[in-house]
Amino acid sequence: MTERVQVGSLQVAKVLHDFINQQAIPGTGLEVDAFWSGLERLFTDLTPLNQALLAKRDDFQTQIDAWHHKHAGQAHDAAAYKAFLQEIGYLLPEPDDFQATYFLGLILAGQEEVLALAELLISDMDRVEGGIVTEIRLFRLKHADAVRLAPLLRAVFAEGPGTTGAEGLQTQVTRLKMYLDKTRVKEI
């Protein structure tokens, strides 16, 4: 039998509990208690919905099994089967045409110095240059320190010949420019 650890209302396999606490979380900036309480809240919030969806699936399967039992030995009638699936709600009507809209935005979380760096980089890059809006991408760092990474990125994305960086990183960027004035660089 699997040994379990009680964490709030959760019973967690000890091997998973130890892995999360001792290997997965350290170095992430996340507190162990915050992780477990968040997971507990997630299970508490989603378990009723999951149970309702599983019950609906079981109901669909019961009705489908009954239909197949009733029509056993008969030639398959695709139109009748499709109508049956639509009738029980398994197949839904095709939606009307729609146009997706989107919002260009970022949500960032982190330490104050990392957020300040992100704000500088975004404000510097998010502007129209020659009629073209610079594209911005968010890269979530798992192990690197953004404050130490910024000078390397500035060197790599500077115009000119290839630049050697950390661990032999060498590249030449010809079209991408990162503008940071000396005042901002010193603030970083």
* Tens-binned pLDDT, residue by residue, of the chain (188 aa): 899 999 999 999 999 999 999 999 888 888 899 999 999 999 999 999 999 999 999 999 999 999 999 999 999 999 999 999 999 999 998 888 877 776 666 566 667 776 777 777 766 666 655 555 455 556 666 666 666 666 656 654 554 444 343 333 333 333 233 333 333 444 44
Q: Look up the pTM and report it.
A: 0.46
Q: Rounded to whole angstroms, how far apart are CA atoms 172 and 77?
A: 62
> Among 186, 147, 149, which residue's Cα sits nearest to residue 166?
149
Nearest to 124 by CA among 182, 47, 54, 164: 182
Helix (H) or strand (E) holding 88: none
